[in-house]
Every structure is written in structure tokens, then in C-alpha cells.
Amino acid sequence: MINVTKSALPPLDEYIEEIKELWNSRWLTNMGAKYNQLQTELKKYLNVDNVRLLVNGHMSLELALQALDMKGEVITTPFTFVSTTNAIIRSGLKPVFCDIFYEDYTIDVTKIEELITEKTVAIMPVHVYGNICDVAAISQLAKKYNLAVIYDAAHAFGEKLNGVGVGNFGDVSCYSFHATKVFHTIEGGAVCCKDESLAEKIRVLSDFGINEADQFSYVGTNGKMNEFCAAMGLCNLRHVDEYILQRKKLSDRYSDRLSNVEGIKLNMDNSNIERNYSYYPVVLDEKKLGYDRDQLCEKLKKNDINARKYFYPLTSAVVCSGDCAQTPIAHYISERVLTLPLYPELDLADVDYICDLIMEGIA
């Protein structure tokens, strides 16, 4: 069985070496040595001013929203993992769904302004599949209407736009280090903020609201990353460039094989982005191909290939019983997108096999 993803792991000895100290220190969580080291190393790797580690990516979204202390509406995309939308709703805010660009599936910045009301307090866009949003246009709108910007950067680990680390945009960028992501800590996440006091507020919120002076300053939660997860992060960070290089090789092979097939739309190339090759989505035009996404997904499954309908359905439909007609492009893409297997250990021969199955079509 070839799954859509398979978690990368460092050599076992390397991880054991990394966690040995924990048997001496007996400091297993609560901002220990591994946590602090990983935070410092990530700050360097991501090229950002402030990083704070958290228990998972979802918590990074919820705590970013809580730290900004807002009430009202948040303009966001329905073409994302349900976590983005859940975080908005669980924070007592109302998601307002904006359509996406046909080209790269990120929020369509030309349609944001018409959704802004006197209740709008923030924009929460997603760098979906590692495609970086139009951050300049979003920043302009945010300034004009005094809105906060929280990026869901779960797919964009280590990416750069015109040489600038993606975590530098907006008020907060939220990362997921879940086992399925390009860089992982088993479970984990982080926020990057320009403003150090905001980053620190998020950390305090992740520790029940207890601040440096040991006082309760906010109604916080338990969202801390533990030392075993941080140790996994330290190991994976040493290998993540290899992982990304391997992902690039495999993605390039998919593109070589599929770029000339009429009816298969590949993820957009953008030479301004230094990519992490987190996913390999294809969008299938059933009229040109003679078969649709669901049929291909079924055929691949019969051949032990687990491709995923990622993202389908739209989160507006799942969580808010929203009307998909209001975001027609997102609706169109979600009905036709299929994310193909991609992970560092996948073989080029497997990619060829998957492409052969796709080109054969449906009998």
C-alpha cells in the first residue's frame, strides 16, 4: 500500500542520543532544554524574529486568535483543513468565507474588500499546499481597514518569498509540526510574530496564563510542547533539507510525466517562492479526461494507492453548512482535486507507476 504520506523519521540512534539527557535531567516538559534549543534553532532556520513552540498546529491558531483579543468576523478561506475554520469558531468569532484564486488556490485578494463589514476584525488566509498568498495585497487591506492578519502556515514550513521567510508576514504565522508535515515533532506547532510581546503572550496562554513572574495574567490553557517532541524536532531539523530535496525530485518527476496531459492541472509554478514541496495536488477536468476525480481515486485505491481528496469538502460546507455557491472557484477545485502520494521515502518508480495508472485512464 502506498499512502498519501509517510512520516519522515531520523535514524533511531540519533533520536535515542537526543533523548538520553532527559533521563538525567528528568525535565520532561514545561519549557526545558530541548524546547529552548529547538526554539532558537527554528528562529534561525525560519529567519524570523520570534518563535514560540506549542503542542500542535491547531493550538497555534486558537492561541493566536485569543492573544489578539477580538470579537466579530474573520475573513478566511473554505479551501483548507477544517482546523482553520474550527479555530475561528471555537474562539467565538464568525468565519466569513472568501473565494480562492483558480491559479494557486490561495485566498482571492480581489474579493476580500467586498466582504469587509464594520464587524470585520481579522483576515486568516492559508498558504495552501505551500503556495504563498498575495501577502502584499493582504497587508495593504489590513492597514486600510485596521485588521489583524493571522496566516495559517501549516503547509509552508521553511518557505521563502523573494528571499523572505514566510513567517515574517502578517501579525502571526501559525505552523503545524504534525507527523504528516514536511517538518514534524510528532505532534507540535509554533507561532512566529514580529511583535515579541505578542509571541510571549501566546506562550503564557499556552502555560495556563502563568507569566514569567509566576502570576496568572490570562485565562490560558495547556498548549506546551514537551521535551520528547522537541527532541524529535531537533533531529528532524538536521534532516529537513534532505527531506525537501527528495520531495522536489519526486515532484519534478510527477510534473515531467503529467504536465502534457490535457485535463490535468498541476500546482502553479512561481519562481519567487523557495518551495518545500509539501503536497502534490492535481485538479482533474472530467470533460477533457473522460473520467472524474472520484473515479480516478477509486481506481488508484484498487491498485493500493491511497491518494486523498484533499481538500474536499469545503470547510464552509462541513462546519457551517455554508453555501458553496458563494465561493464557486473553491467549490470547483474541491470537487476535482486529488492529492497524490508524496514523501521522502517514496521511490521514483512508484511515481512512475502512479502516473502510468493515471495515463491509462478508466476502462
Ligand X SMILES: *Cc1c(COP(=O)(O)O)cnc(C)c1O
Residue 79 or 254 with smaller CB distance to ligand X: 79
Asked if residue 167 binds ligand X (CB under 6 A), the reply is no
b/e per residue 192-224 (b: at least 16 CB within 10 A)? bbbeeebbbbbbbbbbeeeeeeeeeebebbebb
Residue nearest to ligand X (CB): 57
In the complex, minimum distance from the CB of residue 177 to ligand X, in angstroms, rounded to a whole number: 6
Asked if residue 125 binds ligand X (CB under 6 A), the reply is no
Residue found under cell 480581489? 110
Residue 56 or 334 with smaller CB distance to ligand X: 56
60: which 3 cell numbers?
Answer: 497555534
Taking alpha carbons only, the member of 266, 226, 248, 227 closest to residue 355 is 266
Q: How far is CA 234 from CA 6, 38, 196, 284, in A?
A: 19, 6, 23, 39
Beta strands, E only, 185-238? 189-193
Asked if residue 172 binds ligand X (CB under 6 A), the reply is no
Of residues 189-208, which lie at the interface with ligand X (CB under 6 A)? 189
Residue 155 or 253 with smaller CB distance to ligand X: 155
Alpha helices in 70-134 (DSSP H): 82-90
Residue 77 or 120 with smaller CB distance to ligand X: 77
CA distance 59 to 69: 15
Interface pick for ligand X out of 53, 135, 154, 337 (rule CB under 6 A): 154
240: which 3 cell numbers?
Answer: 529537513
Residue 112 or 153 with smaller CB distance to ligand X: 153
Residue 52 or 58 with smaller CB distance to ligand X: 58
CA distance 81 to 20: 36
Asked if residue 58 binds ligand X (CB under 6 A), the reply is yes
Residue 55 or 284 with smaller CB distance to ligand X: 55
Burial class of residue 24 in the structure, from the number of CB atoms within 10 Å of its CB (0-12 exposed, 13-18 middle, 19+ buried): exposed
Interface pick for ligand X out of 50, 56, 276, 316 (rule CB under 6 A): 56
Stretch binding ligand X (CB under 6 A), from 78-86, 209-217, 281-289, 348-356? 78-86
Asked if residue 63 binds ligand X (CB under 6 A), the reply is no
Count Cα atoms within 13 angstroms, Cβ side, for 234: 21
Helices and strands in the chain, H and E counts: 12, 13
Residue 155 or 224 with smaller CB distance to ligand X: 155
Interface pick for ligand X out of 5, 66, 176, 327 (rule CB under 6 A): 176
Asked if residue 126 binds ligand X (CB under 6 A), the reply is yes
CA distance 250 to 350: 9
Stretch binding ligand X (CB under 6 A), from 54-62, 91-99, 297-305, 345-353? 54-62
Residue 83 or 334 with smaller CB distance to ligand X: 83
Interface pick for ligand X out of 83, 106, 185, 327 (rule CB under 6 A): 83
Burial class of residue 47 in the structure, from the number of CB atoms within 10 Å of its CB (0-12 exposed, 13-18 middle, 19+ buried): middle
Stretch binding ligand X (CB under 6 A), from 52-60, 164-172, 238-246, 335-343? 52-60
Asked if residue 152 binds ligand X (CB under 6 A), the reply is yes
Q: How far is CA 117 from CA 77, 112, 121, 135, in A?
A: 17, 11, 9, 21
Interface pick for ligand X out of 5, 39, 77, 80 (rule CB under 6 A): 80
Binding residues (CB under 6 A) for ligand X: these are: 56-58, 80-81, 83-84, 126, 152, 154-155, 176, 178, 189
